[in-house]
Structure 1
């Protein structure tokens, strides 16, 4: 088994409230929080309107499976959210 931690940091240009921030990023939890082998959490910048950090913990049988599991998260975040990914890291635990 392989465990991976994908951390994404976002900039939300023009975001003026925490409520708006949660709304703009809510698709992450709704879309990926339901999957049995992924845990999703807003991990940082809780009090900043224009910044966010989200972590995704994934479990797969091998490294290739882990990449296939986590890659759609980054693709979705980059193309579907009203936010810009400013930093990305992937740790194998």
Structure 2
């Protein structure tokens, strides 16, 4: 069993309220939380309007499978989220 912790930090330029932040970041839970091998949560900057941090825990039978899932998550987020990705951190447990 292999486990990765993937943490992404976002900048939300021009975001003026938590409601707008939720709309712009919305759907991360729905898009990735339904996958049995992925857990997702907003892990930082919860009260800031202009920033957000999300953490994904990915579990798989092989390191290759987990790395592939991480890449897929990163690529999909960069295409679909209305925010700038400031940093991406991967940690293998």
TM-score by shorter chain over 0.5: yes
Query: Which runs of no fewer than 5 residues in structure 1 stay unpaired?
Result: none
Equivalent position SS for 2:59: strand
- Is 1:85 aligned with 2:82? no
Name the structure 1 match of 2:28.
28
Name the structure 2 match of 1:11.
11
Question: In the TM superposition, what is the alpha-carbon distance from 1:70 to its structure 2 partner?
Answer: 1.6
TM-score between the two structures when normalised by the length of structure 2: 0.96
Between the two proteins, the alignment pairs up a number of residues equal to: 93
TM-score between the two structures when normalised by the length of structure 1: 0.96
RMSD: 0.7
Following superposition, which runs of at least 4 residues in structure 1 exceed 2 angstroms of deviation? Answer: none
Question: In the TM superposition, what is the alpha-carbon distance from 1:27 to its structure 2 partner?
Answer: 2.1
Equivalent position SS for 1:35: coil
Query: Which runs of no fewer than 5 residues in structure 2 stay unpaired?
Result: none
